[in-house]
Amino acid sequence: MTTLMEKAHSGMVTSEIKRVAVNEGIDANDVRKCLALGHIVIPKSISSKSYPVGIGKLMRTKINANIGTSRDYVDIEAEVRKAITAEKYGADTIMDLSTGGDLDLVRKRIINSVNIPVGSVPIYQAVEKGIESMTSDDMFNAVRKHAKDGIDFVTIHAGVNHESFKRLKNSDRILDVVSRGGALTLSWMKHNYEENPFYAEYDYLLELAREYELTISLGDGMRPGCINDASDRAKFEEFIQLGELVKRARAEGVQTLVEGPGHVPINEIGLSVTGMKHLTENAPLYLLGPLVTDIAPGYDHITAAIGGAVAGMHGADFLCMTTPAEHLALPDEDDIREGTIVTRIAAHAADLTKDGVSDRARAVDRDMALARKELDWNKQFSLSIDSERAKKIHARSKNVDTCSMCGELCSIKMMRDVMGKK
């Protein structure tokens, strides 16, 4: 089978490429060229019915919403509602991170409830029978099963291996490994005295990815889990290896994303993003945060949005939503709505600064400014990222044309007079 990346390389402008170009408002040949180079991915596997979404160079910054059951809390209907809510409020993709209940059923229900691409972490299913019993076959079989079900992209922690573990052991981290997939992989390696199968048999993983047109999201298993651990050698060691794995995937026509940290202070985000982009030869970068402080539980959607906006400005392409429940509990539907909206704000703030994207993004802000000047409230609501909330708050104003902030002292109204534009 010829993969999408190979088709792009040979000059074909496929229907997926055309659709992405139309959605982004750019030339299809520019999308094709970036896809051929691996600077854009369009995660859409052969069994998937999702519409194509472009992530990477020249694309609007995309956002992902993580949902899924836990072993403590299994409510499939709630997860389906979360998926629908995330799509409604603007998530570009969803990841099913379920670890509890009937994993096949929850995955299929989520895939069938949304139109956007869905990702997963197959090792969460492979480990269902326990670390001690899990085999490398279980790990690859889970990848195949997810691809067959219509999953579009999978997180694979191939950068967690003997080499990066050695670097971790020599570090002075406080939180060692906070990635669930990373910790599971290291536990398996320790129990079996073996190399990570996804790293040792990476060529086989690429064969599977080719067969199902599955996009590989190379997981950041060594991502720092607190400000103290940010930007250390263990993280960069993993990125050196992920860069090599990206290169091997591209040679096989397999699309790859690279995942990144984590918790990073604002002044290190630029270094972190440009370093990762350099080491991975401009692979689309998917960030989990970065959270810019550790001390705001309950508000981590905000600490992540601050970091996400700065990271996007420096070139991050894809932001993973963080919710107010981060570090505290499994998110509920309200958390997903809040997290999705706040992450969209961060993504748009980044887009206002990005080469090749900022003109399109700024046009929306210009329309909002014009609507404000006209005191055209309906137009303002229609342009708002969360129009429901904007309408609800404005409804507290009794004034018909202005709002209750300044009332008759509305500067916009006064300046119409001053500028002779009544």
Residues making contact with ligand SF4 (CB under 6 A)? 402-403, 405-406, 410-412
Helix H, strand E, coil C: the string for 24-66 is HCCCHHHHHHHHHHCCEECCCCCCCCCCCCCEECCCCCEEEEE
3-class secondary structure, 225: coil
Q: Could you tell me the two tokens for 329?
A: 């509990």
Of residues 226 and 403, the one with the C-beta less far from ligand SF4: 403
Min CB(378)–ligand SF4 separation in Å: 14
Shortest distance (Å) from residue 261 CB to ligand SF4: 38
Contacts 24+ apart (CB under 8 A), 304-310: 304/342, 304/343, 304/346, 305/342, 305/343, 305/345, 305/346, 306/266, 306/346, 307/264, 307/266, 307/269, 308/343, 308/346, 308/347, 308/350, 309/345, 309/346, 309/347, 309/349, 309/350, 310/266, 310/269, 310/270
Identity of the residue, 131 or 403, whose beta carbon is nearer to ligand SF4 in the bound complex = 403
- Compute the least distance from the CB of residue 416 to ligand SF4, in Å: 11
CB 410 within 8 Å of CB 397:
no
CA distances from 132 to 123, 269, 398 (A): 14, 38, 65
Of 271 and 406, CB closest to ligand SF4: 406
Cβ 341 to ligand SF4 shortest distance, Å = 21
Nearer to ligand SF4, 183 or 412 (CB): 412
For residues 133 and 387, which CB has a smaller minimum distance to ligand SF4 in the complex? 387
Strand partners, 260: 287
The nearer residue to ligand SF4, 185 or 402, going by C-beta atoms, is 402
Q: Which is nearer to ligand SF4, 247 or 391 (CB)?
A: 391
The count of C-alpha atoms lying within 13 angstroms of the C-alpha of 360, restricted to the half-sphere facing its C-beta, is 16
CB distance 52 to 20 below 8 Å = yes
What minimum distance in Å lies between the beta carbon of 245 and ligand SF4?
52
Closer of 327 and 373 to ligand SF4 (Cβ): 373
Closest distance of CB 256 from ligand SF4, Å: 47
Quote the least distance from Cβ 412 to ligand SF4, whole Å: 5
| Least distance in angstroms from the C-beta of 382 to ligand SF4 | 17
Nearer to ligand SF4, 102 or 374 (CB): 374
Q: CB atoms < 10 A from the CB of 296, how many?
A: 17
DSSP string, 279-335: HTTS--EEEE--BS-SS-TT-HHHHHHHHHHHHHHTT--EEE---TTTTTS---HHH
| CA pair distance 136, 118, nearest whole angstrom | 24
- Which of 236, 237, 254 is CA-nearest to residue 246? 254
Closest distance of CB 409 from ligand SF4, Å: 7
Please state, in angstroms and as integers, the Cα–Cα distance from residue 81 to each residue in 41, 56, 62, 187, following that order: 27, 28, 21, 33
266/415 with CB nearer ligand SF4: 415
User: Least CB distance from residue 408 to ligand SF4, whole Å?
Assistant: 8
Angle, helices 300-313 vs 266-279, to 10°: value is 50
